[in-house]
Chain A
Amino acid sequence: MSILVVAEHDNSVMNAVTLNVVTAALALDADVHVLVAGQNCQSVADEASNVSGVTKVLLASQECYSHSLGENMGALIAELGSSYTHILAPATTNGKNYLPRAAALLDVEQISEVVAIESADTFKRPIYAGNAIATVQSTDAIKMMTIRGTAFEAANASGGSASVESIDNNTDSGLSSFVSEEVAKSDRPDLSAAKVVISGGRGMQNGENFSMLEKIADKLGAAVGASRAAVDAGFVPNDMQVGQTGKIVAPDLYIAVGISGAIQHLAGMKDSKVIVAINKDEDAPIFQVADYGLVADLFDAIPELDAAL
């Protein structure tokens, strides 16, 4: 039995979440292959071949895979799928887009956002926005799963020496085409992968005040996030949102600033190792999940914290 992991990348660098998915795959079997589908993405294949535990890298380099379009990726994975017992992709917007398409083409179900692997056919996943955890068992010949990266440790990025095999599949559907992309450029780490996250809520009052959090983030090597309330109020863009409808994060340290702690937000960060809450309302629900709570006006506390670091 072999496991296929679909790599997440931007054609030049492998996204670190792929390493977490490899760990999930290694919990199933030792024969783990990684599919790198993109365009001019040899460097990603080389990176994947160095990952500890990976036995083979499949490199599909075609123009039609350059933007991970769901139709083309789905068809490619379906073509390769019958050689595998399990196919795993990260539960990113890419993985969530193409993997169900591949599953339907292979006539199997998909198990979404797996957070624990109990055995080769039994898995745990959150339902109802994380308010319940379901254990599910699959009898499908091919188990297709998206993996929540934060629930698994990262595999070692070096130490492997897998062979890289180029494959010439070309599954261009012609059904859709890429027009453009606006991706926020930042020197800070990616929210989903950061070891430290500092998030602001409605209490920040406006977008400019987020610069106070950015200063601390730069000192701690942290990513900056936000609650849905702060996004809905127009303070910051939606890709900063942590929560049920945004990013799921589980850093070593999560600092919630001016966030009340709606269930929606907690669903996105409650698996963080250490949670700090700074809020002037001592009854805010965020304090019920925080390891360290500070009841204070953030406009006093944040400059003090900045000075103390």
Chain B
Amino acid sequence: MSDKSSTKLVLGNVSHSYGTVDVLHNFNLKVTPGEIVVLVGPSGCGKTTILNLLSGYIQPSSGSIIREGAIRTVYQQDGLFPWLTVSENTGMGIRNVKDPVQRDREIKELLELVHLENFGDHYPHQLSGGMRQRAELARVLAGDSDILLMDEPFSALDYQARLNMREELIRVLQKRPRTVVFVTHDIEEAAQLADRVLVLSKRPATVCYELNIDASHPRRVGDDKVVAAMRRILKELGL
């Protein structure tokens, strides 16, 4: 497994446009290893574009991107391959590990970590939305991934499942630390999960406010610091 402290993720003066629409203009972002950065902002402001640039899925019109470490993305929904079982999906990132015993042990550990140990042989369409996202979580953690990009991963779930998944994510990250860049439109989610919240402006996106939340994890929705952070984010969004 690679050294997690050596990961690097930096956007330097990055601009990006789709045709004549400027989505990002001289955007800067430096992610510290091991932190959870949450991006919030109005819809269409370019949050997903930032993730796509970070993952290398799209190239910027100008600017520099430094990426060190293996990057994996958790998508909003349906990112699991439906023709593979939960175990097989989880094992995708370690399919090149030669020793099958070691591979199976890792898969088993990951499934236990996300409480899906009894569902390894199930196919994604046989699981609930929350279980599918937990399987996604197990999959991105497999092997030596360093950076997790999460694109509104819980937005398709109902409120209760979303609360559970936030808790799960924090618990899992405490056992297997990763650097996380998390995009959401859910202010409560941002306040509960983030070490640092970046509030983005309308297009072209700039960071209009940066909020560090120095409360320990896990946090509850009603915690004073979480509530205070939510107020602050709402204020910055003009809501």
| A and B together in one complex | no
- Residues of chain A whose beta carbon lies under 8 Å from any beta carbon of chain B: none
